[in-house]
């Protein structure tokens, strides 16, 4: 049975993320972004991805990442939520990364996601109710064709999966 309490390393990670977000996500700037044409804070994302290596947290070390577990990712997500940080961490560093990790030939994209050079988003419409049909989207020649609406962080994504 795993320990439900956070380890010293996880608490150190929490403190480091909290310190960084204190500098980047004060209440005034977060609220201003909500009403702006640029709701994502790419400077904060760069600091998290480049400065702390958090974009590659879930990527195994032998594939260019940090080799951490979902517990560490949860610590980061808790702090991002606490700060209401407008960054694409969940969609890119967690969801898109997990999707690429499940693929056999995604090492190039995985390295880009892990470094934070590329922001990914999973092309699943969030507006679809359970039990209803999905819009038709097809892959052709390495590109997606079709129409989906309500894709989380699509506006800032470099690649849709």
The 8-class DSSP code of residue 49 comes to I
- Report helix angle 70-83 to 8-24, nearest 10: 30
Question: Does 47 map to a domain?
Answer: yes
- Per-residue pLDDT 10s for the chain (161 aa) are 567 788 999 999 999 999 999 999 999 999 998 888 888 999 999 999 999 999 999 999 999 899 999 999 999 999 999 999 999 999 999 999 999 999 888 889 999 999 999 999 998 766 666 766 666 777 788 777 777 777 889 999 999 98
Does residue 40 contact residue 155 with C-beta atoms inside 8 Å?
A: yes
User: Structural domain tally of the chain?
Assistant: 1
Question: Does 17 map to a domain?
Answer: yes
Question: Does 120 map to a domain?
Answer: yes
CATH of the domain at 149: 1.10.540.10
35 burial level (CB within 10 Å; 0-12, 13-18, 19+) = exposed
Structural domain for 74, as ranges? 8-160
């Amino acid at each position: 049975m795993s320990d439900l309490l956070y380890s010293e390393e996880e608490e150190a990670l929490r403190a480091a993320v909290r310190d960084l977000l204190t500098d980047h996500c004060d209440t005034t700037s977060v609220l201003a972004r909500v009403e702006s044409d640029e709701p994502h804070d790419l400077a904060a994302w760069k600091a998290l991805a480049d400065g702390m290596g958090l974009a590659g947290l879930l990527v195994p070390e032998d594939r260019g990442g940090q080799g951490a577990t979902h517990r560490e990712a949860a610590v980061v997500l808790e702090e991002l939520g606490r700060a209401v940080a407008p960054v694409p961490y969940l969609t890119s560093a967690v969801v898109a990364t997990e999707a690429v990790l499940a693929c056999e030939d995604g090492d190039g994209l995985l390295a880009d996601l892990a470094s934070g050079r590329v922001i990914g988003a999973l092309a699943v419409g969030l507006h679809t109710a359970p039990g209803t049909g999905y819009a038709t989207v097809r892959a052709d020649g390495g590109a997606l064709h079709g129409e989906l609406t309500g894709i989380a962080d699509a506006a800032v994504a470099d690649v849709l999966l």
